[in-house]
Amino acid sequence: MGALPNVVGIKSCYSITQSQTNEYWKYTYLSEETNKITLLGTLGAMVVAVGALSTVLLIFGGCCSNVFALEALISLIASEGLLITFFQFVFTAIAATPSQLALNDGTLFRRPTVPMVRWGYIALLFYGINMLNNWAFAFSISVPVHIILRSFGSVTTMLAGVIRGKKYSTLQVLSVALLTFGVLVSAWADSESKGKSMTMETTTTTSEFATGLFILLVAQLLSAYMGAYVEDTYSKYGASWTENLFYSHFLSLPMFMPLSNNLRQQYSRLTRTPPLQLRPDVLSSSKLHPIWNLLPEWIFDAICVFIESRPQGILFLMINAFTQLACISGVNLLSAKSSAVTVTIVLNIRKLVSFILSTILFGHELSGKMIIGSALVFGSGALYGWETSWRLPSAKRKTPARQSNGPVKQS
């Protein structure tokens, strides 16, 4: 079914790196003990690492891999958005629980730095946005179209900032516009190379497709509002990203209770999907065979037995939940020290990276559109970074000095 390259893509996506130089704990006040807490042991290295590299790996590795796993699930059964969302929330809530425990203090959980009412409101927004994004797949919205429409997040986030009274320089506005256009061009080229329709499917009615687009539009507007609200929360209360990660997922779980029957039905359908036939695909692929040759034969056999004995729908559901944890951990780390627009910019660049990796892994050539889109995205991302991290701070440092020395004489 073509899902096997998605699994390999998950391994390859973690090779993408990008350096960042700012401090990571500007708005986090974690004790030494908390910094050493692991997320369920196997994810410990993910959370203990506090450098810029770890955040980039979590965002680019986790989010890229999550897109591949999501596309594999949607290709199996397009209406499983509710189940996908539920598993992501449960897995992340369980994994983030150790970071909030305070057993040594005689209580179960540490006292939150943010009022619970505020966390509850954020959880409600987060739940609604995720439900809307995944619900759109039920209206025949393809993964490429889904990613393209969500690339407008930088625009809606900046508009939300303007409404709240924030000001952006001309270069910041220009870089966001160019970046969004670059993602559009790249996604279109990627869709053409894969033969996927960028519009509606032939069996999809206009009203059904329009409904899906409207759902994504509402989700984007809510996401922009939530991004600004979370940014204010970090600035006002100095909350840690782990606290946000836990409460935004944990407090959302009761909202799934009215949908329990639908969840059981969707899970039952995934259990009836056929298993992946890993060995024939790997052994017959000149591109994949060298990758698996790096593993000892007994490990390769064990992996094959594990994968081939389970429904591929359940397998991709687990991969999707795991990679979502990595992705959302990186996003929360970045949100704790950056503005909402900066977070959206990084995520848009991540979307382009997933497109390029997908093109390389599937053996497609980079078209002219893909090259143009890549140049626009990386160029505008660099422009925004230079404007935000260097030029504007430099200008602010010079302004007080000029005021203290009096007016500057013209020569």
- Number of C-beta neighbours around residue 215 at 10 A: 21
* pLDDT recorded at residue 334: 81
Collect all residues with Cβ–Cβ distance below 8 Å to 375 and sequence separation of at least 6. 182
* Annotated domain spans of the chain: 4-275+310-388
Alpha-helical regions (H) of 77-205: 81-96, 116-135, 143-150, 153-163, 170-194
Closest CA to 150 of 130, 170, 171: 130
Query: Tens-of-pLDDT digits for all 411 residues of the chain?
Result: 433 333 333 333 323 333 332 333 333 333 333 333 334 333 444 443 445 667 777 888 887 787 778 777 877 776 667 888 899 899 889 988 998 988 777 778 888 999 999 999 999 999 999 888 878 877 766 665 666 666 666 677 777 778 878 888 888 888 888 877 877 776 676 566 555 544 444 455 667 777 887 888 888 888 888 888 888 898 899 878 889 889 999 999 999 999 999 999 989 988 998 887 766 655 555 555 555 667 677 787 787 788 888 898 898 899 888 888 888 888 877 877 777 667 767 776 777 677 666 556 555 556 777 678 777 877 777 787 777 767 877 777 776 555 544 444 343
| Dihedral sign, Cα of residue 341, residue 346, residue 352, residue 354 | negative
* pLDDT recorded at residue 261: 94
- Number of C-beta neighbours around residue 106 at 10 A: 6
How far apart are the C-alpha atoms of 103 and 73, rounded to whole Å? 39
Specify the 3-state DSSP secondary structure of 325.
helix
One-letter amino acid at 68 equals F
* pLDDT recorded at residue 205: 63
One-letter amino acid at 243 equals E
Region of residue 51 (left: phi > 0; alpha: psi -120 to 50; beta: else): beta
How far apart are the C-alpha atoms of 81 and 254, rounded to whole Å? 17
Collect all residues with Cβ–Cβ distance below 8 Å to 292 and sequence separation of at least 6. 282, 300
- Alpha carbon distances (Å) from 250 to 118, 126, 177, 238: 14, 11, 35, 20
How far apart are the C-alpha atoms of 38 and 96, rounded to whole Å? 9
* pLDDT recorded at residue 199: 47
